[in-house]
Amino acid sequence: MSSRDVVGQNLRKVDGVKLVTGGAAFTDDIQLPGLLYGKILASPYAHARIRHIDVKKARALPGVHAVLTYKDVPRVPHTTAGQAWPEPSPYDTYLLDSKVRFVGDRVAAVAAETRAIAERALKLIEVDYEVLPAVLDMEQAMAAGAAVIHDEPDSTKIYDRDHNIAGYILREIGNVDEGFRQADLVVEREFRTQRQQHAMLEPHVSIAWLDPDGRLVIRSSTQVPYHCRRQVAMILQLPVSRIHVIKPRIGGGFGGKQEMLLEDITGALALAARRPVKIEYTREEEFYMARSRHPQILRMKMGVTRDGTVVASHLKVLATTGAYGSHSTTVQGNTGSKVLPLFRTDNMRFECHVVYTNMPVAGAFRGYGCPQGFFAQETVADEIAAELGIDPLEFHRRNVIRLGDIDRLSAQLGEGKEGLPRVIRSCGLPECMERAANAIGWQKRGARTPACGADTRVRVFDSVGHQDAGKSPGAARTSACATRRRGFGMACTMQGSGIAGIDWASAFFKMNEDGSFYLQVGASDVGAGADTVLAQIAAETLGVTLDKIVITSGDTDITPFDVGAYASSTTIISGGAVKKAAEKVRSQVLQMASKMLDAPAESLACADNQVFTTQGERKSVSMTEVALQALYREKTQIMDGASHFNTDSPPPFCATFAEVEVDTETGQVKVLHLVTAVDPGTAINPMQAEGQVEGAVTQGLGYALTEELILDGQGRPVNPNFLDYKIFSAKDMPKLTTILVQTDEPLGPYGAKSISEVPINGPAPAIANAIHDAVGVRIRKLPIRPEDVLQALRARQPEEVLVAK
Amino acid sequence: MKTMELSLTVNGHARTFAIAPGDLLLDVLRREGYFGVKRGCEKGECGACAVLLDGKPVNSCLMFAAQAEGRQVVTIEGLARNGRLDPLQEAFLDHGAVQCGFCTPGMILSAKALLDHQPDPTEEQVREALAGHFCRCTGYKKPVEAVLAAAAARKTRSRRKPAAEVMQ
């Protein structure tokens, strides 16, 4: 590793300067002459049929150039999930439909010269709704007599439309019932998780126009430009060759943009108006008209022998996908396949119903089903360890998956079909656990110490940003001593690196006169730093400095195919393609240099923008000389490309340790310190890798403690704004410690696996377990609000908890 | 529709824009090509649209453009001088404090306002200054480190300043 010049270095982002100077980088940072503003008329009802819709007045409004309803567009069942073809998600969605299935569903769309005119036009559309009974409780969705949400006959791939079941999964390895019979202790608990929003700072935005050749250009905030192009072509009934999708810089995606969300309707409006059209969600629309994390009800059952060996696990899940089945079976499949195998028992069963409800649509979200599953599994594991009197750290040491293991559940649970077995070829989990435990001070666990002990790391701000004020320091101190308790908790988690056998990518290089290389990749940098990491892999392989790599990514006209940015695939899959292509180009460079240096190509190496002999007399030529020789003397363009996929998905591993302080008077939980140790394989850019961890755990803190989109009794969003939907700010943060435990993954470029998803899984269970350590109560629903803690405290032995030692 | 003239200073240059009375400062600046001013929520909640108004950070989505008449506006485009990045911009790059970059302009501008008044801030003061800027990518750790590093770099640079001016 030490011999590497570029890989493993903390280099600046290749797109950094334009981002810190306000360069025109993002989707909306262009000005197009004649641009129209598109707006979508959203359903005010959770479930209704459009009896009659009249758009005459809207069309007549000066400045309006297009108004579309279901009568004006092709009816093509599809999924909005940005997945590889054929998508495993149900085809249950229409560009526009005569039925609406959630508050926020599309009724009509307009394009007008100003946003104000577009908004006025929406008000002029007259709609006569037949309001239908709505399903607003996932536990009622399958009940006899529940309204059928997808009664249309043309939708396909729905598991059981009459009972609102979008998907059903049942997989078992070994013999679970026999496993439980052998167990000395079986713990079974129910968990509930909420609707979390991505809340990326850049809302979804798409701009569509016709180029001079009449091709439809779509500039869009997407993680999946190629899937988008294919899906829009199908929906608008255009050849793929007539569509050009451009992914500029993206202001965060987190899975929310692994979705063909606005591109189809923006394109349809541009075709109707024959002018450029932009649709940009407002923040409020972003909260309920985009996507969310799937809410789940989980029943986790785990059996262990007296010595603390897990002998069987069974996870049963009810999840809702909302009104449409985007990512429905695949997210939920992950809840089983990426979670249960963490504990190495031969007997595992996963069963899941994913149901439709008349609620906002769920989709892909960082972690992709794992945060829910690990919250359940790691809380049960903690409970079992407590019951057996074993330190949870020791319980994990004994039971977690290890090097050389084969995860057979993954073989059964692939992306919408049978998967492939996962072989653990690199595993830094033991070291992650030990180093994180040391960093948090795990030996202090179990003391249930009052907050005013010798440890003075009490922060001024609590978990939702309220400053401790109004009390004299003395009073606060007395109160804290009496009512606050410290505790420690841990969780171990894993994820994948790309979807085995499905995700693939390609890359193409050409050499320029100055010895630089132009790199084209279909990969989609959505802000996580993919362009930089891919350029580092390229520079390392070609023996040039990072400034010699000019990268263009995510443009369907210019760059070769890539499935896009999801499933923690970019570094390992797109990076694998870049490395392969770079090796091919390097061999062309060496061939050229071989003639120039009169030395066999096998004896040459490249580094630091030079090609040099490694045997005999040291001779060298610069990359610039090689390029000039090729281009002007040999009349050859040095160029090549490569494609890459893996048949396995090596898991990155993570250990999350939390120290919390619980106020037994208010139920307030303050996280004092969160330690995250991750095995990402090789970190191509450790600084960026740390940033991925820190961002993921911050979303994980919100998932654990504050974030939930709440719906009222009619399915309307109650808190679609940043004041009422609380994400952590700079002031709310606990101390974060990030530890990278690097391993060498044989299937990854330079040993890399992935990093950006796995750390989000740990905070919720680690915090829940720390709360138990602090005050002795188990909270099994998310987010863990103060009232939940207080209720649990009051329900259980209040005298023991509230009385100071 | 545009019925008023707005005269103000943007990034040190006197500018006059034709505006409508109800135009927001955010919309006018973006219309005039200051794309570093980001539209994140239009409700003053996220801080992505922050600019410095007479040296103080404000959310440009909460101001009518007309309220900026005669005032000094600084956007992120105005921070680099003669092709040289501000120490805050350098520090954000060096410390990995930029991920998607959408909230970055606002954070850097608020940090600049802080350092202009408090050249040697504590971590808590930096967190307070950044508290109005939601970032969904970084967890704030590296931005906070970058601001503290920039404060240190500015001190070094200000000590060197006379020499630099002589060179010019």
Confidence of residue B143 (pLDDT cuts 50, 70, 90): very high
In angstroms, the CA A41 to CA A56 distance is 15
Instruction: Return the residue matching tokens 């598991």.
Output: A159
Residue A322: which residues within 8 A CB-CB, separation 6 or more? A102, A292, A356, A357, A359, A360, A361, A362
Q: How confident is the model over B53-76, as a mean pLDDT?
A: 98
Query: What pLDDT score was predicted for residue A411?
Result: 83
Helix, strand, coil shares of chain A as percentages rounded to 5? Answer: 30, 25, 45
Buried b (16+ CB within 10 A) or exposed e, B115-154: beeeeebeeebbbbbbbbbbbbbbbbbbbbbbbbbbbebb
The answer to whether the beta carbons of residues A221 and A326 sit under 8 Å apart is no
- Across all residues in chain A, what is the average pLDDT? 94
DSSP A632: I
Chain A residue with minimal CA distance to B136? Answer: A200
Nearby residues of A60 by Cβ (< 8 Å), 6 or more positions away:
none
Distances in whole angstroms, Cα of residue B11 to Cα of each of A568, A605, A629, B34, B168: 41, 49, 47, 10, 22
Give A-chain residues touching B138 at CB under 8 angstroms: 691, 694-695, 698
Please give the pLDDT value at position A459. 35
CA distance A723 to chain B (A): 7
Note whether A64 and A117 are within 8 A (CB): yes
Average pLDDT over residues B61-70: 98
Cis peptide before A421 (omega within 30 of 0): no
Name the phi and psi angles at B153, rounded to 5. Answer: -65, -35
Q: Flag if B137 and A31 touch (Cβ within 8 Å).
A: no
- Strand A735-740 versus strand A669-679 pairing type: parallel
Cβ contact (<8 Å) for B96 and A200? no
Give the per-residue pLDDT at B83: 87
Tell me which chain B residue has its CA closest to the CA of residue A691. B138
pLDDT of residue A796: 78
**In terms of DSSP H, where are the helices of A657-754?**
686-705
Per CB-CB distance under 8 Å, the chain A contacts of B98 are 13, 16, 19-20
Strands A126-131 and A48-54, by their bridges, are: antiparallel
CA A379 to chain centre: 22
Residue-range domains of chain B with CATH: 4-78 (3.10.20.30), 87-160 (1.10.150.120)
Whether the CB-CB separation of A101 and A324 falls below 8 Å is answered with yes
Contact B134 A722 (CB under 8 A): yes
CA separation (Å) from A385 to A95, A491, A675? Answer: 51, 12, 21
Contact (CB<8Å) A527/B33: no
Quote the minimal CA–CA distance from B126 to chain A in Å: 9
- Which two three-digit tokens encode residue B2? 């545009």
Tell me if the pTM is above 0.90.
yes
Which pLDDT belongs to residue B156? 82
Contact A21 B80 (CB under 8 A): yes
- Give residues with Cβ within 8 angstroms of A147, minimum separation 6: A47, A132, A133, A134, A135, A358
Mean pLDDT of chain B: 93
Whether B39 and chain A come into contact, CB under 8 Å, resolves to yes
SS3 category, A172: strand
CA dist list (Å): A124 to A41, A109, A117, A281:
10, 12, 11, 20
d(CA A362, CA A196): 9
* Distance in angstroms (rounded) separating the CA atoms of residues B150 and B144: 10
CB A368 within 8 Å of CB A255: yes
Q: Which residues of chain A have pLDDT under 50?
A: 1-2, 453-479, 798-805
Is B42 close to A282, i.e. CB distance below 8 A? Answer: yes
Alpha-carbon gap: A703 to the closest alpha carbon of chain B (Å) = 13
Q: What pLDDT, on a 0 to 100 scale, did the predictor assign at position A563?
A: 96
Going along chain A from its start, the domains and CATH numbers come out as 16-23+504-645 (3.30.365.10), 36-132+201-252+257-289 (3.90.1170.50), 161-197+296-399 (3.30.365.10), 427-497+649-802 (3.30.365.10)
Q: What is the pLDDT of residues A756-798, one digit of tens each?
A: 999 999 999 999 999 999 999 999 999 999 999 999 999 975 4
